[in-house]
Structure 1
């Protein structure tokens, strides 16, 4: 009996990337059907295999729009640092890790988490960097710009034990889908705002026409003149 040749399997890193691809495809399904950015962020955050942070572009800084870390963990970190996560702007420039990801337009693997954190926290609490890394159990991760139509809307940050450089193409594609979803939501919101403004103007014009229509007409005919009949020469 002829034996079947052993089944070929992909190398372990490739298997990991393929597994991630499958999970991301499942997560992509609800992204383009969500009606708000909040729902979109939650759809992405439902992937339990890793931790996700999404930041939106605010000129020269980033603002955290969503994180999959637990509220209890966030409060613990806020108590340690004295900072409110949602209110703390994340500065970036071309010579920082976050700036390189934003300006480069491509996903990048970040091996040194400590360096990335030192660059974004105030100097007054930089000594707490190791504590923050331990609290959030941070490891190497991937930063992927949320880029669409030559515009960078923000940044996707993914950390997890199973993340490595082989996941860069997958995360880059995933970030592109998220960016497209956000971009479409913006267009939809802009269209809704324009329709609302147009409806408001039309209602205002209709109200003005109704007022003119129901207002009592003013008599503009000339006032008649009465003259006394001629009495002839006076007596």
Structure 2
């Protein structure tokens, strides 16, 4: 009965609803991609971001492309790996061992999930113009979008638990969400992903991060911890 009461906690029910919604979005997008229903929309959105009369160049002055490259690096495996490693070591030094394990296992398992999903769908990258960034893996879902959601939302939720004021919690989560969004948008702008790749990556990453957040909340409730 206690286990059931834990699951019926309002915050747990809210997380379950959010995870379910994110998974539903991913599944719907994946089905449409597999059936080819998104091809026309994907093409139209990508072409809308190309310079008029020159599909090889992205829309806007050269400095915007340079900024997009810098932003997209925030979702790279190397940058995210360094961030996770630094946070994990900090938590271990602060003797927050359980929290460190949640961060480490949540993000590393999310990385594995991204690799497996890419292999399962094997969607080719956009080929209607040269890529604005180096790419080596399949297109669906966007690894940058998914892993940015996994890492930044996980770390945002972690930091939000540590700050006392509601306004600060909202600020932290807003920054985490903003980083996730701009990394995904940069992938579309640089032409290395179809828009639906990014949407699916956001959905899968959010579901993964929320799932681990929910697990952490269940442990906290079981142990009688308070905010």
Check whether TM > 0.5. Answer: no
Ranked by relative contact order (alpha carbons within 8 Å, sequence separation 6 or more), the top structure is 2
Larger Rg: 1
More helix by share: 2
TM value normalised by structure 1: 0.26
